[in-house]
A and B are shown apart, each in its own frame.
Chain A
């Protein structure tokens, strides 16, 4: 089994929902990203999603758009992100998923990229603008190199979409909690729990939920029903406000609070 499957088995056994944290690789530079990833792990993150910055982030809200702009302004490239992962692998075995848009990977070459990414220590890819219909080439390449290609489901997915994705799923499935772009939101839809439970029943891999989850209370709510909770924009906002040691400290304490929120909610669930 790979690092992703191992991790979900481990959190599942503990009765926990996994905390998946997203940061943009290279915001503001790759050296900072390396330090942040290790800090996130120390603070309780179970899976790291590294955003691959793209010039035209069509599925992202303002927070991640700005983060991508900072990363690109700093000269971040896909080959440099693979170097970063390779370097991180000397100090951590935390599952690492690269998340982004298809064009940079298409330009790199699907087969060559899958080979290089797997060799660098990347565990999975999540490409927001690569639905199952267009994914054959990359799916085959990631499969050949032992990497997971992670697909998304959304509130608009009907039964046949859920079946399509279920048939291709590896690693985990990412459930987008709202119709919309990425970004912190103040409320979680009250229909979410029922929907997540329903979708989970159709899948043979873990289901993580993301988009809009912004604080420990919300993370806790979602943790009650999901195998994992993704926090992105709310974490990325820290990169607008802080830098250096203060960024590490603030991001670390935010992730600790998220993790506690999730553990408490799960504890409350099993106690009730």
Chain B
């Protein structure tokens, strides 16, 4: 069955739980998107920017040294870290930026956690000549100062969010508040496959280039489909982007990797699919971290991009339907994987992506040498150097 349905539901998940003021804007967006997603010119324009500006296709790289060291399955890395701006986020912001331009919007806003989506939004705003404001939690501004400065260089206004835990969830609250106030002239570029319909669908479509390329590249390299797909899941956009093209390939197992933070058992984690319950937040019904009264709990992860108490509704559906499975990786395991990939392959991964790498490192030795794992290396780690140094006790 094709998901989502016409009203944006993935099984019981998703939907459009927003205040009435935003409904007309979402209807307008949905209508525009339904039109342009099938528009030949729009698709060509999107493909042009992905090729000439983002630098796609990026390689599906066989991490031979690491694979041989682990002594099991072959690990392939889908190199989203080589995209312009350094992560997969730009695939989506190019798409939404083009859509905003077609809709005649002169102003875009975004929420950001690690700052990758903020940078990618500020980038397309500069490219397409739009005003840009990015909402970012104060805690994340501290953790990701480099990206904050990049956004400012790109001409964006970065608005610190101090409410709640001052992280991604609160940035999203503030972006929604801002949008409801300036809805007439503002396009909200949501950075992940969450939020009210049509965002989970639209962001999935713009990110599905990851899996389309990976599928063709793996077929070319191995003459067959991969056995496993592994991707980190915060909101879940790089994972959905990788998974989507393989949805009907029943032999391909899909694994989403959530952030276990200090460990699931400590309660300080960001793993709603592994250890959460169903609820409604930020416009959609999905798995959440929350207490018994429906108050949203604080998430924890070393990775600012995964530090979110919810997850995209399609992942909730893929979990319940059994099509994908979800595991978790702690801060410590992600740090180890960060160092392993850096030393073994000379590739410095983002802390988000390090979670996926960590699970691949766990999984590969349990598999045969003829089997393959495709890992989404969703972003590069330059932005995390300060966090890593602090963690290693190194003063920069």
- Whether, in the assembled complex, A181 has its beta carbon less than 8 Å from a beta carbon of chain B, the answer is yes
Chain B residues positioned under 8 Å from A59 (CB to CB) = 19, 176-177, 180
CB of B20 within 8 Å of the partner chain:
yes
Are B280 and A61 closer than 8 Å at their CB atoms? Answer: no
Number of interface residues of B (CB under 8 A): 38
| Pairwise interchain contact A157-B169, C-beta atoms closer than 8 A | no
Report yes or no: B279 in contact with A181, Cβ–Cβ below 8 A.
no
Shortest Cβ distance from B24 into chain A, in angstroms? 5
Cβ of A154: which chain B residues have Cβ within 8 Å of it?
19-21
Find the A residue at minimum CB distance from B25. A156
List A contacts of B277 (CB < 8 A): 107
Which B residues lie within 8 Å of A103 (CB)? Answer: 279-281, 288, 290, 294, 296
The smallest beta-carbon distance between A4 and chain B, in angstroms, is 20
A191 beta carbon closer than 8 Å to chain B? no
B-chain residues with CB within 8 Å of residue A102 when the two chains form the complex? 17, 280
B21 touches A129 (CB 8 A): no
A180 contacts B by Cβ under 8 Å: yes
Which residues of the other chain, A, contact B164 by a CB distance below 8 angstroms?
55-56
Choose among B20, B173, B290 the residue that contacts A58 (Cβ–Cβ < 8 A). Answer: B173
Q: Among the listed B16, B19, B285, B295, which residue makes an inter-chain contact with A104, where contact means beta carbons less than 8 Å apart?
A: B295
Q: Is A267 an interface residue (CB 8 A)?
A: no
The listed residue (B19, B23, B25, B294) touching A106 by CB distance below 8 A is B294
Which residue from chain B places its CB closest to the CB of A211 in the assembled complex? Answer: B21
Q: Between A and B, how many residue pairs show CB distances below 8 Å?
A: 116
B interface SS class: mixed
Answer whether residue A151 sits at the interface, using C-beta atoms and an 8 A cutoff.
yes
Which of A101, A104, A176 sits near B21, CB closer than 8 Å?
A176
The CA of A181 and the CA of B182, in the complex, are separated in Å by: 11
CB distance A56 to B296 under 8 Å? Answer: yes
A161 to B20 Cα, complex, angstroms: 9
B19 touches A128 (CB 8 A): yes
Tell me if A131 and B177 are in contact (CB < 8 A).
Answer: no
CA distance A158 to B28 in the complex (A): 12
In the complex, chain B residues whose CB is within 8 Å of the CB of A78: 293-294
Q: Is the interface of A mostly helix, strand, loop or mixed?
A: loop
> Which listed residue, A55, A134, A161, touches B17 by the CB 8 Å rule?
A134
Give residues of chain A (130-183) contacting chain B, Cβ–Cβ below 8 Å: 130-131, 133-134, 151-158, 161, 165, 176, 179-181
- Specify which of B181, B183, B296 is in contact with A55 (CB 8 Å cutoff): B296
Whole-angstrom distance between the alpha carbons of A254 and B263 in the complex? 51
Interface residues as binary, B118-160 with A (CB distance below 8 Å gives 1, 0 otherwise)? 0000000000000000000000000000000000000000000
On chain A, the residues within 8 Å of B281 by CB distance are 56, 103
Is the Cβ of A130 less than 8 Å from the Cβ of B296? no
Q: Is A65 an interface residue (CB 8 A)?
A: yes
With A56-B164, A61-B177, A103-B296 given, can you name 5 additional A-B contacts, CB distance below 8 Å?
Answer: A58-B173, A131-B20, A154-B20, A156-B21, A179-B181
A-B contact pairs, 30 of them (CB 8 A): A58-B19, A58-B173, A60-B177, A61-B177, A65-B163, A103-B280, A103-B288, A104-B295, A105-B294, A106-B279, A107-B294, A108-B294, A128-B19, A129-B17, A129-B280, A133-B23, A134-B15, A134-B16, A134-B17, A151-B20, A152-B19, A152-B21, A154-B20, A156-B25, A156-B183, A158-B24, A165-B20, A179-B181, A179-B184, A180-B180
Residues of B within 8 A of A (CB): 7, 15-25, 163-164, 169-170, 173, 176-177, 180-184, 277, 279-283, 285, 288, 290, 292-296
